[in-house]
């Protein structure tokens, strides 16, 4: 496959844009195709079978557009069904998972909190991840069923969003967490607000930079990095409403980018 082909990135909505932005920083010459499966967002309250069906549909679209690799920029999708997706694809499939390992290395209180969608926390993959460290560190989980909707609506500073953050973070602090993992890529857009609510003694762990570095590593191993000397372009697709997605892209990526229906 030519190295000039684009990198495909998808999420249930706009959360994966935070990953795409880090990929763009590290790979300025590569083209990026981003899909927000917004019609079916959030994935966090869907079944594994439904999530896998959407992952297959979106991945087939990206491969049809020539994607040389696919980034599943969604913790729920990764923990639910990425193994099945990899089994059927010949291109590199890179996922994301909650940053429990770096949080365990960073904690001083030996209590790590995890904010995530209910579905992510219910998956076998997440349970196995947490179990790897639970003998030495207490992993305290907090499902956040209403947070993605606020972020999709770009209500980062909305009073309701701050109320939700206080509600979700308080139990983790009461249990002694000094490190909080953002277990959903959507939450990256609230990282500063989460840090403010948690307080100065709490470290916030996100994984978008680590995922972007893994994309670089995998493409380099496969000889698929774009040649330097050109500026990569982006194309943005959604299964949801174009007008809404256009406003989201204007806010989170920058004005002037066209959006297309999936």
> The tokens of 105 are what?
């290395």
Domains recognised in the chain with CATH numbers: 7-96+208-261 (3.40.50.1860), 100-205 (3.40.50.1860)
pLDDT at position 2: 58
CB 68 within 8 A of CB 91: yes
> The tokens of 228 are what?
């330097």
pLDDT per residue rounded down to tens, the chain (262 residues): 556 799 999 999 999 999 999 999 999 999 999 999 999 988 878 888 999 999 999 999 999 999 999 999 999 999 999 999 999 999 999 999 999 999 999 999 999 999 999 989 999 999 999 999 988 899 999 999 999 999 999 999 999 999 999 999 999 999 999 999 999 999 999 999 999 999 999 999 999 999 999 999 999 999 999 988 788 999 999 999 999 999 999 999 999 999 999 9
What is the chain's Cα-based Rg? 18
CB 139 within 8 A of CB 112: yes
Report which secondary-structure segment, H or E, holds 143: strand 138-143
Nearest-angstrom CA–CA distance, 20 and 37: 15
Q: What's the angle, vertex CA 104, arms to CA 118 and CA 140, rounded to 5?
A: 35
Cα-to-chain-centroid distance, residue 193: 18
Residues annotated as catalytic (active site), given as ranges: 74, 184
Tell me if the pTM is above 0.75: yes
């Amino acid at each position: 496959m030519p190295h000039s082909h684009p990198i495909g990135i998808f999420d249930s909505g706009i959360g994966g844009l935070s990953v795409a932005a880090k990929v763009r920083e590290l790979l300025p010459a590569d083209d990026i195709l981003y899909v927000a499966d917004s019609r079916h967002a959030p994935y966090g309250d869907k079944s594994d079978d439904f999530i896998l069906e959407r992952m297959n549909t979106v991945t087939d679209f990206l491969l049809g557009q020539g994607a040389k690799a696919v980034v599943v920029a969604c913790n729920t999708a990764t923990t639910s069904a990425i193994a099945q997706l990899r089994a059927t694809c010949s291109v590199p499939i890179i996922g994301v998972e909650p940053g429990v390992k770096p949080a365990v290395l960073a904690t001083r209180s030996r209590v790590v909190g995890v904010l995530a969608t209910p579905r992510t926390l219910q998956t076998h993959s997440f349970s196995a991840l947490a179990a790897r460290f639970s003998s030495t560190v207490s992993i305290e989980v907090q499902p956040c069923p209403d947070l993605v909707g606020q972020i999709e609506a770009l209500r980062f500073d909305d009073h309701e969003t701050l109320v939700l953050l206080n509600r979700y973070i308080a139990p983790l602090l009461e249990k002694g967490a000094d490190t909080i993992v953002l277990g959903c890529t959507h939450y990256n857009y609230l990282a500063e607000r989460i840090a403010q609510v948690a307080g100065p003694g709490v470290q916030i762990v996100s994984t978008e930079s680590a995922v972007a570095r893994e994309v670089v590593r995998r493409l380099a191993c496969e000889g698929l990095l774009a040649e330097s000397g050109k500026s990569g372009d982006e194309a943005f697709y959604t299964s949801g409403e174009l007008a809404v997605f256009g406003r989201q892209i204007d806010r989170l990526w920058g004005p002037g980018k066209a959006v297309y229906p999936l």
